[in-house]
Amino acid sequence: NDDVKERLDRMERIITQLVDRFNKLENFLQDKLNLNSETNQYHSDYNEPEVDLQMDFDELNTHNIEGSEEVKNKNEDNFGRLIQIVEQVGQRMNTLESSIAETNCGESKGQWYKDNKDKFRIHCSGNGKGTGVALIISKTLNKYVCKKREYEGRAICVDLVLPRKMTICIMQIYLPSKKSDKVNVINWIKIQLNEAQKKKKKVIVMGDFNAVPSPAIDRNNNSHSQFPESEIFPLLSSHDLIDCYRIMFPENTGYTWKRDNSNEESRIDAIWISYRWCDKITSCFLDDIKLITSSDHKLLGVKMLKK
């Protein structure tokens, strides 16, 4: 009888936790719909017929390929190494869009890369050692790229104008670690988000944020704070973007970075997407590919339904 009672109690706790998770997700989505009138002036599309949100990709990846002391000590352009990484993890990139942070590649560099299965366009932005971002886009999707913007090797953004009158703004960012250095980058990101919102574009923002939304769960330093470490996170939320990993795993730590020779870990890499794609997320995963990239960051990926 005691065993039966213990099992029933355990089942009841599990059910309670599941209900709590669904309630949190429901409340989150409801908050997005109950925007005040001042914000709603930029959301006229809520009152218009919903367009077909079918997507032309089914997976997104983001990865910071820098980090190891061995690589940091090399005074060389990382574009060649980026090509090698594309080659070695290319099997992930058949029907997806991927992004890389801290590549040390110059702004003028960008080229086609072809493996045995597909062809990819690498769009780069760099501003010297320690900065650099890149978007790796398949040939199938690259034909829809119509506009590219970049900011000093800290952010790169492209617009994909797809059939069915849908435009997707894809942004890869690599924020500085110092708060004072983040201001200009975040202001640039805000401009891109405001433009996307006014023109009713769907948005994807991913990369290395060098900060976490909730230190209590996103860092292992015993912090109890649930306040965002950077204004970038409230900015993304105010533009109706959701944190893919946290939506899928409300209570998991999901650390993406670990300091060398230390126990310090955090979830500073993330993928944020328009909340209307929430029901299209099928999985969110972390992959340690240090042997390939010599990075102290894990690759973060999101799989989504095409239809």
2 is in an annotated binding site: no
Contacts of residue 40, defined as CB under 8 A and 6 or more positions apart, other chains included, come to 46
Beta strands in 219-280 (DSSP E): 241-243, 257-258, 265-266, 269-274
Q: Which of 168, 149, 173 is nearest to 100 (CA)?
A: 173
Q: Is 297 a catalytic residue?
A: yes
Q: Is 123 a catalytic residue?
A: no
Active-site position among 159, 208, 240, 243: 208
Active-site position among 63, 151, 159, 174: 174
Q: Is 174 a catalytic residue?
A: yes
52 is in an annotated binding site: no
To the nearest 10°, report the CA torsion of 144, 279, 238, 300.
-70
63 is in an annotated binding site: no
Active-site position among 63, 123, 239, 297: 297
Q: Which residue has the tokens 């072809």?
A: 114
260 is in an annotated binding site: no
Q: How far apart are CA 215 and CA 53, in angstroms?
A: 33
- Are 306 and 55 a contacting pair, CB within 8 Å? yes
The Cβ-side half-sphere exposure at 197, using a 13 Å CA radius, reads 19
Kindly give the residue spans of alpha helices, DSSP state H, lying in the chain. Answer: 2-33, 37-40, 69-72, 79-88, 139-142, 179-198, 215-218, 232-238, 244-248, 290-293
Contacts of residue 54, defined as CB under 8 A and 6 or more positions apart, other chains included, come to 164, 306, 307
- Are 177 and 230 a contacting pair, CB within 8 Å? no
Q: Which of 109, 138, 146, 143 is nearest to 126 (CA)?
A: 109
**Other Cβ atoms within 10 Å of 49 Cβ, number:** 5
Q: List the binding residues.
A: 208, 210, 296-297
Q: List the binding residues for Mg(2+).
A: 208, 210, 296-297
For the annotated catalytic residues, the residue numbers are 174, 208, 297
